[in-house]
Structure 1
Amino acid sequence: MDPYTPRTRPGGRKKNLGLSAKEYTKITGTIASVRRNRMPDGIEEDHPRTHSQREGNSRNHNESSFIAETSFVRAPLNTRVVSSTNVPNAKGKAKQESLDRVPLEVQQAIILEDLLYVLMGIEGTYIIFHPDYSAEDDDPLQGIRFVVSPSLDSSLRDLVERILPLGTYYTAIFAFVEHRSHLDYGLVNHALCAAIRDMLKDYQTLLSQLEHAFNTSPQFSLQKLWFYVHPTVHTLSLIYQLVLELATADDPSGELSDSSSSGSDAEEDARNEALGLGGAKLKAVLSEINKNDMGVAGGSGIAVKGGEVLTIIYERMQNMSGDPTARTVYGTLLKAAGKPYVEMLRVWVSSGRLIDPYEELLVKESKFINRGILEMDYTDEYWERRYTLRDGSTSSASSKRHQAGVPPPRAIGGRLPGGACIPPLVEGWKHKILLAGKYLNVIRECGIEVNQQDQLEDEALSMDDERFYKFIEDAYSHANRTLLQLLLKDQQLIPRLLSLKRYFFLSQSFFLTHFLDLSSNELRKASRSASIVKLQSLLDLVLNTDAHGEDTLYREDVKVTLADSVLYEFLLKVVSVSGVIGGEEVEGEGGSVQEEPKKEKGKDDKKSMLAIDALALDYTVKFPLSLVISRKTILRYQLLFRFLLHLKHVEQSLSSMWIEQKTSPWRNAVPNHPEFEQWRLRVCLLRARMLSFVQQILAFATFEVLEPNWRALEAKLDKVTTVDQLLRDHVDFLDTCLKECMLTSSKLLKAYSKLIGTCSVFALYTASFTKSANQAIVASETADGDQEMAKRWQFLAKFETNFNHWFQVHLSCVQFYASSENVSLLPLVVRLNSVKAAS
């Protein structure tokens, strides 16, 4: 059997075919006409052309591929080949004649020649585009479907239909490579397209060899063609399935929308996201815009790129791990596509520089957050939100604040889009990758050059190479050691924390009593009327005169400030409400305090709060110590300071009342007025009980909470090995102190605030009680006697009832929490029971 067409063989073929001269001429002319129709310019030749004409047409064709080719600018990686959308269409150029009367050998020869065109995505004479195919309407990424002439012999048609999918696969893959080579699709897509293009070159080389065999070997047949392309069908089908999934993963109407917005809008959106700005109205508007832009299917509007591409390839490789060919093909593509991703990770963890022009990496940078924000904002913006993971996860519990910047999952598959999708191979390393770069960034911001030697710089690494993860571990360890040494030794972190303890905890506040005495007149004013400048000058005077030795360290960093809200009102709002207060998320009951809310205050509220109740200390530190002593931690110190200061103030007030009650109206006996004697005794007893309660709370907070926890923190700081552990230990120390001081439970806070408020108000009536005592003594000497004693008893009974009720409620709450949640409150139970027994 000789499959060759008559035109490819010299004379004498006629005898072998067994055709008449007329039939031979007809077939030769038909095939020659079909070949002429394969000319790139797509113009049918009705008469012979000269050699110069053929050369001219060839030159015109070569030149036409470079004319107005805008895709070269957008996709410079594309090869200089004719696009699949511009291939000549032979349909209609030559009339398709029936093959019913054509011998089987000639059918095979004709269909072989058609197949060689179809395998390159070009329509043949007897193998044509599917009738439903439209170059304008159909998606090129789906590939072109071909159909065989029904007049072809059924035995040949069966083989041809097995081979035809190659044409569909090739056209789809070729269109994908051409489309995804655009700059907007990122480096990972570029590397993937380059790897697929190399595979297509092997396929094209195979077709060239098959065409050569078709033209030269008499033994070449359709069965041999199927034998040679059979392995390629499976390989191209694997690539086709991959590119089809990558193409269909893009959300409708949302492709590349993240890069199509105007520069000014993108900058403003990025700034708002980075700084956490935007109220409910803005979020509602943005949500509506996104909904309209993304279509009914919903989605993120971000093209499939970066980590998402690697994730799709890896998942396909895992799902088809039982197929050796699939594992080889997808493994090759994963390694090639992951090279730019691995290189970006290497630069980030070894130098702290984030080079990610197409937002493909798992780490995201908010460029609008800089070191200056640390000195004016109440949150540690630089550390928390300058560099974050695109998927919104944190090493601790995730917060809604981070989740707000995470794009929504894909409508199809539920996968996070673009760089927010972290490849499974690096999922377990993402926090170390983030922290390694952040540590090095802090060092670079301090003006210290990072000179880590990259020993694997010249070696090609991939995400499935163990050396790559060892490199990440080494980079993380190096960055961690360097920053830890910078904080502890160069920046003197431990002395800074000691100074915070001395200034904010009353047991070490050497200056506080002197300062309160000097500023007593100013602190008795309403908070809005008090002068912060005057208070600051008095504080400086006290620190300059009374401080000696270590107490003089960092005294210029201590500042006076007045809070905007009453301490217990603020704490009750924080621990009772789960959500966002004043723009910063706070945790529910028992959780940690994040930021003081910006309270909407009326004039009456601010007027009713005295300066002593609003007094607080502030502490200023510079970068990089502000990463550890951040505004969040300073707020915790302030809450503890205000709690202790209020206790100290109530203790001083009750002590002053005790001194007042040592004067003559309280000491002299009044034998003719026994009811007054009993009343006077009850007032002194109530004052003594209140003073004992306040002193027990103050002693418990100072000596059984703050001191032991501080010693535990010192022990941890001596053994600290990572910066993250250092930050966590410091915050845990403050949160533990707040919890054990009963400032994180709404029930304890409510009972305690009512009880301490009763004591505070009672101390304010010192002069009133003395006046009543004098009036009672004078009235007892008159003939009518004391007529106001009932009112005095009624007034005192209100304080006794209030104190007794809230003392019992508070004691019950403390006993309950000590037996269930907070064992550290057990010593306080003993102390409070002693107060109860004394009464």
Structure 2
Amino acid sequence: MEPYTPRTQTGSRKKNITLSQKEYSKITGTIASVRRHRLHQDDIGEEFSNGRVHSSRHHGRDWDEPSFIAETSFVKAPLNSRVSLGGNTIANHKGKAKQESLDHVPLDVQEAMILEDLLYVLMGIEGEYIRFHQDYSPDEDDPIQGVRFVVDLSLDPSVRNLVERLLPLGTYYTGITAFIEHRSHLDYGLVNHALCAAIRDMLKDYQTLLSQLEHSFNTSPQFSLQKLWFYIHPTVHTLSLIYQLTLQLGTADDPSADLSSSSSDSPSTSDAEEEARNEALGIGTAKLKSALSENGLGSSNAGIAVKGGEVLSIIYERMQNMSGDPTANMVYATLLREAGTPYVSMLKEWVMTGRLVDPYEELMVKESKFINRGILEMDYTDEYWERRYTLRDGSTISGSKGHKAGIPLPRSSGGRLPGGACIPPLLEGWKHKILLAGKYLNVIRECGIEIRRSQNLSDDDEKLSMDDERFYTFLEDAYTHANQTLLQLLLKDQDLIPRLRSLKRYFFLSQSFFLTHLLDLSANELRKSTRSASLVKLQSLLELTLNTEEREDTMFREDVKVVMAGSGLYDWLMKIIIGEGEIGNLNEEKKDHKDDKKPLLASDTLALDYHVKFPLSLVISRKTILRYQLIFRFLLHLKHVEQSLGAMWIEQKTRPWRQRFEKWRQRVFLLRTRMLSFIQQILSFATFEVLEPNWRALEGKLDKVGTVDELLRDHLDFLDTCLKECMLTSAKLLKAYNKLIVTCATFALYAAPYTKSANQAISETETAEGQRRRWEYQLKFEKNFDHWFKVFLDCVQFYASSENGSLLPLVVRLSSISRRSS
């Protein structure tokens, strides 16, 4: 039988019968005749029979008419007696004729009359003596709340007491059927559809019971109100459980609760005036809330229906809260299993093929379709891997907390998230593996490798549910398979390890022949400003340097390119540390270059870039390559200053420096030696105390890596550790080091002026003013170097003892320089 919400109109049920008026009169007359004949034989009461006769004579029917008398199967059909009988319409309240009082009707007749009404009411249909509540309005009341029924006050109290115990069934039934009708719409998603189908199956059992009870009422003289209660009272609890669930599901997304609570307070005069103005402008409260919701400017969860994971969470929570009730546990477990079937099916498709089939946004995983793998070639935030597929609740493997853009707010403070963002409690501990399994397979699919669902699934595997332990074994196996498949693709097919080794060689080996040779060949270009240096020429010199080396990893040399950064390394790092900038694209740096008052030299902005294709770009991503570039520029600058100081030493071995001005010459040589020693100690520390040990640790992890996500995390942790131990992430260390290295670089640039001063001193053309300036420059360099060296050493000692123990070897190295200089 199709459920429907009752209407108060008199002829509402008559309109649903597609018969002519004449046929309708014949049917109702025949049914009334049979009922009168049965009641007369059962001796239920002469007055009751007379009442029915009066009702039928009111329409002038002939009881001897044989039209349907022989059709016993039709007359005795359980539901046909529900048709309204002529003038005794079901909804004749609110100004219509009132039914006769039961004050003077015998008790047994009252029971018989109320039994017939009850069979109507249990199906949500108004009877003669059991009516809708006087406050009920089908146009204003929420149908999911159900219809309240009241009993005629003239009914005997003993009978009315028992009847009132059964009346909630009518409310439950009307509310549940309204929920099914409403939540079966497409917009509510597959989980709601499956839940409605499961509830509908449960209602079929209830309807079958009512049919059997009606048959007993029509055929058994011994059928009584007590027997009806005996058979029906277990169903009251079952329908109550379903009704409470549908009520919670139907009202959880109702935004009118907050509005009604606020509107219940007495508004002030100013509020009333403002509301009047808003209404006059067409932006009253209701219209404004609707407009904000449509444009996504109101509450972030406004308009999000209760669907998907939230439905399953509510069912599971109710089942847990009522775990001591066997009936509740059985009912809710059944509904959870049936409603979760489409959810589990979508999960299986995701973890087995990497395809996200979620037309109603019910699943915990969401896709940002505007992000594609082409972004990896230009976007330093690596959005393809991190943001294309994410969890709707915003959680990450790293466990970062806090509200994020695009993540809906909870229904209430500290409550569950709405819709698909709410992850079923049974899957909370598996959400990251579910996300990663599909992401791994999706990467493989993007490489052109088609993945099909396993054909080895048995019928039992196809019917797995969230309350079955085998389902979680299946998830674990799917995750392991996806992970191993992608690892095999990256490590074996895509030669990831040789790629990482070539990166380390080109970007980290400051003592290698490659870097020294490159600096020697490009010395002239590096002395020019960034704008004047030729990228084409520098790229040619790089290729020449790479071609002179015969190594096993030279097959990747074509992926190395020369680029120019847009700002100085240390200025940019300081902006990142203090939060004014971010590790972004090198092209973004160039925006700051125009504002630089002092032009930068090519040696300060030279960097290497490295290009790889998908899927290696997931591991060697723009985010990781930028970290390689930062370390490379740090080493390159040190190496360049070292060579400049070395060139200064070679120049100072010429003839002019061997004569006279012994004291000044010794001071120059001593300062140059200290600076060169400082540079070499920093280079040696960075190479042998930081980069090499960390690289060996990374290689050890790569040999034992178990998941792709571990691979990504280990690689990124390696680079971040190198940056930290190279002192590129601390503002105090970086500031002192920057001042110190700039002092050394500037001193190296004064090699030619110092030689000129020496020649002047030898030729006796140097004036007293020139001699004073020569010493003034020297003393300034010494004072500046001594000051910042002490500041830098103090900072290194502090951080080595408190935060960064890896700096202890550097403390020893720098202390030796300090002792020698003293």
TM-score of Structure 1 vs Structure 2, range by shorter chain: 0.7 to 0.9
2:507 maps to which residue?
A: 504
1:689 maps to which residue?
A: 674
1:28 maps to which residue?
A: 52
Deviation at 1:253, TM superposition (A): 7.6
- The C-alpha deviation readout for 1:739-780, integer Å capped at 9, x for no partner, is 11111111211111111111112222222222333334445x
Q: Sort the Cα spacing of 1:438 and 1:15 in 2 relative to 1 into closer, same or farther, 3 A.
A: closer
Tell whether the 8 Å contact from 1:126 to 1:149 is kept in structure 2 after alignment: yes
Q: Sort the Cα spacing of 1:529 and 1:457 in 2 relative to 1 into closer, same or farther, 3 A.
A: farther
Deviation at 1:736, TM superposition (A): 1.2
2:647 maps to which residue?
A: 656
- The C-alpha deviation readout for 1:394-430, integer Å capped at 9, x for no partner, is 1124377x93232222147721111111101111111
Tell whether the 8 Å contact from 2:39 to 2:45 is kept in structure 1 after alignment: no
1:836 corresponds to 2:818 = yes
Tell whether the 8 Å contact from 1:650 to 1:763 is kept in structure 2 after alignment: yes
Q: Which amino acid aligns with 2:720?
A: D
Q: Which amino acid aligns with 1:563?
A: A
1:330 maps to which residue?
A: 332
- The C-alpha deviation readout for 1:683-705, integer Å capped at 9, x for no partner, is 22111111111110000001111
Tell whether the 8 Å contact from 2:519 to 2:640 is kept in structure 1 after alignment: no
1:801 maps to which residue?
A: 783
2:739 maps to which residue?
A: 754
Deviation at 1:712, TM superposition (A): 1.4
Q: Which amino acid aligns with 2:732?
A: K
1:213 corresponds to 2:204 = no
Q: Which amino acid aligns with 1:414?
A: G
Q: Tell me, in whole angstroms, the C-alpha distance in 1 between the residues paired with 2:297 and 2:452.
A: 49
Out of 481, 484, 487, the position equivalent to 2:484 is: 481
Alpha-carbon RMSD:
3.1
Q: Sort the Cα spacing of 1:297 and 1:374 in 2 relative to 1 into closer, same or farther, 3 A.
A: closer
Q: Tell me, in whole angstroms, the C-alpha distance in 2 between the residues paired with 1:377 and 1:297.
A: 32
Tell whether the 8 Å contact from 2:319 to 2:328 is kept in structure 1 after alignment: yes
2:441 maps to which residue?
A: 440
Q: Which amino acid aligns with 2:98?
A: K
Tell whether the 8 Å contact from 1:758 to 1:802 is kept in structure 2 after alignment: yes
Q: Sort the Cα spacing of 1:295 and 1:657 in 2 relative to 1 into closer, same or farther, 3 A.
A: closer
1:272 maps to which residue?
A: none
2:183 maps to which residue?
A: 180
Q: Tell me, in whole angstroms, the C-alpha distance in 2 between the residues paired with 1:101 and 1:113.
A: 19
Q: Which amino acid aligns with 1:27?
A: G
Deviation at 1:551, TM superposition (A): 4.7
Out of 339, 349, 354, the position equivalent to 2:341 is: 339
1:132 corresponds to 2:123 = no
Q: Sort the Cα spacing of 1:772 and 1:182 in 2 relative to 1 into closer, same or farther, 3 A.
A: same
- The C-alpha deviation readout for 1:585-608, integer Å capped at 9, x for no partner, is xxxxxxxxx999656425341752
Q: Which amino acid aligns with 2:222?
A: Q
Deviation at 1:376, TM superposition (A): 2.0
- The C-alpha deviation readout for 1:423-466, integer Å capped at 9, x for no partner, is 01111111111111111112222222335635435221110111
Q: Tell me, in whole angstroms, the C-alpha distance in 2 between the residues paired with 1:17 and 1:175.
A: 37
Tell whether the 8 Å contact from 2:527 to 2:603 is kept in structure 1 after alignment: yes
- The C-alpha deviation readout for 1:805-827, integer Å capped at 9, x for no partner, is 21111111111111122111111
Tell whether the 8 Å contact from 2:352 to 2:478 is kept in structure 1 after alignment: yes
Deviation at 1:198, TM superposition (A): 0.3
Deviation at 1:543, TM superposition (A): 2.1
- 1:769-780 correspondence runs (5 A): 769-779=754-764
Q: Which amino acid aligns with 1:705?
A: V
Deviation at 1:14, TM superposition (A): 9.3
Deviation at 1:679, TM superposition (A): 2.8
Tell whether the 8 Å contact from 1:251 to 1:294 is kept in structure 2 after alignment: no
Q: Tell me, in whole angstroms, the C-alpha distance in 2 between the residues paired with 1:617 and 1:778.
A: 47
Tell whether the 8 Å contact from 1:511 to 1:542 is kept in structure 2 after alignment: yes
1:10 corresponds to 2:37 = yes
Q: Tell me, in whole angstroms, the C-alpha distance in 2 between the residues paired with 1:836 and 1:375.
A: 47
Q: Which amino acid aligns with 1:664?
A: R
Deviation at 1:788, TM superposition (A): 3.7
- The C-alpha deviation readout for 1:502-537, integer Å capped at 9, x for no partner, is 111134643323322332232222223322222212
2:395 maps to which residue?
A: 393
TM-score under structure 2 length normalisation? 0.84
Tell whether the 8 Å contact from 1:6 to 1:13 is kept in structure 2 after alignment: no
Q: Tell me, in whole angstroms, the C-alpha distance in 1 between the residues paired with 2:583 and 2:214.
A: 70
- 1:66-465 correspondence runs (5 A): 89-91=91-93, 94-252=97-255, 299-398=301-400, 403-411=404-412, 414-451=415-452, 453-459=454-460, 460-465=463-468
Q: Tell me, in whole angstroms, the C-alpha distance in 1 between the residues paired with 2:407 and 2:490.
A: 32
1:48 corresponds to 2:61 = yes
What secondary structure does 2:539 align onto?
helix
What secondary structure does 2:37 align onto?
coil
1:608 maps to which residue?
A: 599
Q: Which amino acid aligns with 1:761?
A: T
TM-score under structure 1 length normalisation? 0.83
1:74 maps to which residue?
A: none
Deviation at 1:790, TM superposition (A): 3.3
Q: Sort the Cα spacing of 1:116 and 1:838 in 2 relative to 1 into closer, same or farther, 3 A.
A: same
1:786 maps to which residue?
A: 768
Tell whether the 8 Å contact from 2:349 to 2:356 is kept in structure 1 after alignment: yes
Tell whether the 8 Å contact from 1:380 to 1:630 is kept in structure 2 after alignment: yes
Q: Which amino acid aligns with 1:702?
A: T
What secondary structure does 1:364 align onto?
strand
Gaps of 5+ in 1: 34-44, 56-80, 82-86, 255-286, 585-593, 671-676
Tell whether the 8 Å contact from 1:253 to 1:294 is kept in structure 2 after alignment: no
Tell whether the 8 Å contact from 2:300 to 2:408 is kept in structure 1 after alignment: no
Q: Sort the Cα spacing of 1:486 and 1:687 in 2 relative to 1 into closer, same or farther, 3 A.
A: same
Tell whether the 8 Å contact from 1:195 to 1:336 is kept in structure 2 after alignment: yes
Report which stretch shifted further, 223-232 or 333-342. Answer: 223-232
Q: Tell me, in whole angstroms, the C-alpha distance in 2 between the residues paired with 1:583 and 1:703.
A: 26
- The C-alpha deviation readout for 1:205-246, integer Å capped at 9, x for no partner, is 111111111111111111111111111111111111111111
Deviation at 1:613, TM superposition (A): 0.7
Tell whether the 8 Å contact from 2:565 to 2:589 is kept in structure 1 after alignment: no
1:589 maps to which residue?
A: none
Deviation at 1:680, TM superposition (A): 2.8
Tell whether the 8 Å contact from 1:633 to 1:734 is kept in structure 2 after alignment: yes
Deviation at 1:582, TM superposition (A): 5.4
Q: Tell me, in whole angstroms, the C-alpha distance in 1 between the residues paired with 2:457 and 2:590.
A: 55
Q: Sort the Cα spacing of 1:298 and 1:163 in 2 relative to 1 into closer, same or farther, 3 A.
A: farther
Q: Tell me, in whole angstroms, the C-alpha distance in 1 between the residues paired with 2:581 and 2:150.
A: 66
Tell whether the 8 Å contact from 1:487 to 1:625 is kept in structure 2 after alignment: yes
Q: Which amino acid aligns with 2:187?
A: D
Q: Tell me, in whole angstroms, the C-alpha distance in 2 between the residues paired with 1:11 and 1:822.
A: 98
1:647 maps to which residue?
A: 638
1:568 corresponds to 2:570 = yes
Q: Sort the Cα spacing of 1:498 and 1:24 in 2 relative to 1 into closer, same or farther, 3 A.
A: closer
Q: Tell me, in whole angstroms, the C-alpha distance in 2 between the residues paired with 1:473 and 1:396.
A: 20
Deviation at 1:655, TM superposition (A): 1.2
Q: Tell me, in whole angstroms, the C-alpha distance in 2 between the residues paired with 1:653 and 1:454.
A: 68
Tell whether the 8 Å contact from 2:490 to 2:615 is kept in structure 1 after alignment: yes
Q: Tell me, in whole angstroms, the C-alpha distance in 2 between the residues paired with 1:652 and 1:197.
A: 84
1:620 maps to which residue?
A: 611
Q: Sort the Cα spacing of 1:704 and 1:143 in 2 relative to 1 into closer, same or farther, 3 A.
A: same
Tell whether the 8 Å contact from 2:353 to 2:438 is kept in structure 1 after alignment: yes
Q: Tell me, in whole angstroms, the C-alpha distance in 1 between the residues paired with 2:423 and 2:720.
A: 33
Deviation at 1:678, TM superposition (A): 2.5
Q: Which amino acid aligns with 1:710?
A: W
Indicate the percent of aligned positions where both proteins have the same amino acid: 71
Q: Which amino acid aligns with 1:418?
A: G
Gaps of 5+ in 2: 1-31, 70-82, 84-88, 258-288
Tell whether the 8 Å contact from 1:90 to 1:123 is kept in structure 2 after alignment: no
Q: How many residues align?
A: 739
